[in-house]
Chain A
Amino acid sequence: MLAPGGVLMFVVIVVPLAVALYVSLLDLDQYTFRQWVHAPFIRLGNYSEAIQRSNLLHSIRISVGYATIVTLATLPIGLAAALATQNRFRGRGLVRSIFLIPYVLPAFVVGTVWRIILQPDGIAEHTLSRFGVSEDLWLNGPRSFWALVIVQIWASWPLVYLLALAGLQSIDHTMHEAAALDGTGWWSKLRYVIFPFLRGPVTLAMLIAFLHNVNNFTLPFVLFGVPSPRDVEVLPVLTYVEGFQNFRFGVSAAMAVFSVVLIAIPLAAYLRAVRLDVGQA
C-alpha cells in the first residue's frame, strides 16, 4: 500500500531533482532547449558563471539578511500574542481568529494589497507624513528591502503565535500554582517558569519560518514585480529571472542548487528538532 504514494513521490520528486542537477551542468538556453539532452556539457561552468558574473552572491546576502531579520522580529510578536490570549476573556475566540487572518491570506493577495498601500503617494506615505516621516519610495531603492521585511513580518508572525500557543497549553496546571504560591512576579514567572517550556515549539517555529522566508518567491515577486529592484533581488526571484526571463536555463539551475546549500543547515537543525519516530516499530 506504500506503493502508490511512495512511487509517485519518487517519480515526481527524485526524477526532477536529478534533472535539475544534470541541467546545471549543461549549457542550456532557449536555442538548445528543444534538444536539451544534447546541449553541450560544460561541467561546473554554470556554477562559476553564477558566482563570478551574476548577482548570485548579492542575492544570497539579501535573502539571508531578510529571512533572518523577519524570523527574529516575529519571535517577540508571536510570543506576546500567545501570552496575551492564553487566558480566557470575552471575545477571545474572535481575537484568535483575527490574529490568524494575515497568515491564511494567500501571499499573492498580501503582495497585491501592500503594493497598493506602499505605492508612491499612496496611503502609507500619507499616513507617515502625518507623523512627520516623509519617506516616499517604498517599492524601489534601499527602502524596498524594509518594505519586504515589514510585509513579511505582517504576514508570518501568526506561525510563531500558533506554535507558542500550543506550547503554553501543554504547561501543567501545577506549574502555575507553584509560581503563584511562591509569589513570583509576572516577569520572573515568564522568565523562569513559562519560557523554558516554550523553547521547543518556538525553536521549531523559528526554523520553519526561516526556511519559509528564504524560499519565499511569491511575496517579493508580487510586491515588486520583475525585474525587481536590486535591494530586494532575493535568490528565488533571481533564479526565476535568470531562467524564465533571460532563458539561461543552465545558470538558473546552478543558482537553484545554491539555494539548497542555503537551506541545508537550518533544515538539518529542523530535522533534528522534530519528533520523528512514530512511537513503534
Chain B
Amino acid sequence: MKRDSSVHQLLPRPLRLAVIAVLLASVLIPLCYMFFASVNSDLSVAAGEFWPQQLDFGNYLRIWSTVELGGGLVNSLIVAGAVAVASALLATLTAYVLVRFSFLGRLAFLRGLLALQSIPGTLMLLPVFVLFASLATVFGVQVIGTRWALVVTYLTFALPFSTWVMVTYLRGLPRELDEAARIDGASSWGVLTRIVVPLSWPGLIVSGIFAFLLGWNDVLFASVMTNPESRTAAVALQVFGATQEGGAIPVYGQMMAAALVCALPVVVLYLIFQRYLISGLTAGGVK
C-alpha cells in the first residue's frame, strides 16, 4: 500500500517546511555553539562571539587534568551500568509475574509503579541520607561516599520505570508460547529464562538504558552522597564552573568540551538504540 499520497498530507507544504526549518535551527544553533565554544578561547566566549577565532582542540586535552573528569566518567559508568543491569533483570522478573499471574493487589501494584515514577527526588534524598548515615553510626559501615550508595538509591527510581516498560512489553508476548513450553515440561523459571527473556531483548534494552540514563543524569543525589573519589561525571562537570585559570574568566571552553564529553555516551546510546527507545518511551508513556 502506498501511504504517501497527497491524501495523507497534514500541513500545506510551505507551512511544513517553515516548521521544520525553525525547529531544526532552534535545536542545532545551540548545539553548534556548544561545539564552537569548546574549541574557542575563553576570552572570546566571554565576549559573546559565535564563530570561533581559532580551532583549538586543546580544551579536549586540558579537561582531564583541570578536574578529575576521567575518574568521574568511570564512576558514572560503573554506577549507571550496575543500575542498568540490576534493574533490567529485576524488572523482567517482576513484570513477568505482574503480566502472567493474577493475584490480590495486582492492579494496586501496577498503579504504584506509575505513581512511584513521579515521586520527587527531594522527598527521597533526606531519608536515604539519614538511613545511610545511620548505617555508619549503628553498624560502623560507611555507606555515604561509596558508589554502592548511589546504585541502591538509583534503583529506587529506576525499578518502577523499568518494570513498567517490561510490563508494557511482555503484554505483547502471546500466552500460547508460555503454554507450549509448559506442555513440553518447562517450569516457570524455565519459561522465563528460555522463552520470555530471549524474546524480550528489546524491552530489556530499553529498561536497561533508561535505568542507565537515570544514574548518568542525576545531580541531586550525587552532589550530596559522593566524595571527591566517588564523584560522578555530573558532579565533576559542576566543578568546572568554579574553576578559573589565572584570572577572572571561568574556563568556558573546557566547560563546553567537558559537557560534550558527558553528553556523548548518552547521545551515542540513543542513536544506536533509537528505534527501541522511542517504542519504549511511547509505550511506557513516561520519561
Chain A residues within CB distance 8 Å of chain B: 1-2, 4-6, 8-9, 12-13, 15-20, 23, 33-36, 77, 80-81, 83-88, 95, 97-102, 104-109, 112-117, 119, 121-127, 154, 159, 162-163, 165-166, 168, 173, 176-177, 180, 186, 189-190, 194, 201, 204-205, 208, 211-212, 214-215, 217-218, 221-222, 225, 235-236, 239-240, 243-244, 249, 252-253, 255-257, 259-260, 263, 267, 270-271, 274, 276-281
Contact = CB atoms under 8 A, between A and B. Distances in A.
A194 B102 CA distance: 38
B16 A84 contact: yes
A233 to B, nearest CB: 13
A112 B94 CA distance: 38
B46 interface: yes
B99 to A, nearest CB: 5
B113 to A, nearest CB: 8
Nearest to A159: B287
A60 to B, nearest CB: 13
Contacts of A255: 122
A117 B26 CA distance: 13
11 contacts: A8-B155, A16-B128, A106-B234, A112-B237, A163-B282, A165-B282, A186-B10, A194-B10, A217-B121, A236-B121, A271-B115
Contact of A249 (B126, B163, B270): B126
B7 A20 contact: no
Contacts of B128: 16
Name the 9 nearest CB pairs between A and B, nearest first: A281-B102, A5-B94, A19-B127, A126-B48, A16-B127, A84-B19, A166-B282, A256-B123, A5-B90
Interface of B: 1, 3-4, 6-12, 15-16, 19-20, 23-24, 26-28, 30-31, 33-34, 37, 45-50, 90-91, 93-94, 96-99, 101-102, 106-107, 109-111, 114-116, 118-128, 130-131, 133-134, 137, 152-153, 155-156, 159-160, 163, 167, 171, 175, 188-189, 192, 213, 216-220, 224, 234, 237-238, 240-241, 252, 255-256, 259-260, 262-263, 266-267, 270-271, 274, 278, 281-282, 285-287
Contact of A8 (B45, B49, B114, B159): B159
A23 B127 contact: yes
A114 B99 CA distance: 43
A170 to B, nearest CB: 10
Contacts of A123: 33, 37, 45, 48-50
A16 B124 contact: yes
A173 B217 contact: no
B270 A112 contact: no
Given A5-B91, A126-B48, A99 B287 contact: no
Nearest to B18: A84
A82 B49 CA distance: 33
B36 to A, nearest CB: 9
Contacts of B93: 1-2, 4-5
B159 A5 contact: yes
Contacts of B155: 8, 12
Given A17-B127, A104-B270, A125-B48, A217 B220 contact: yes
Given A17-B127, A252-B126, A112 B259 contact: yes
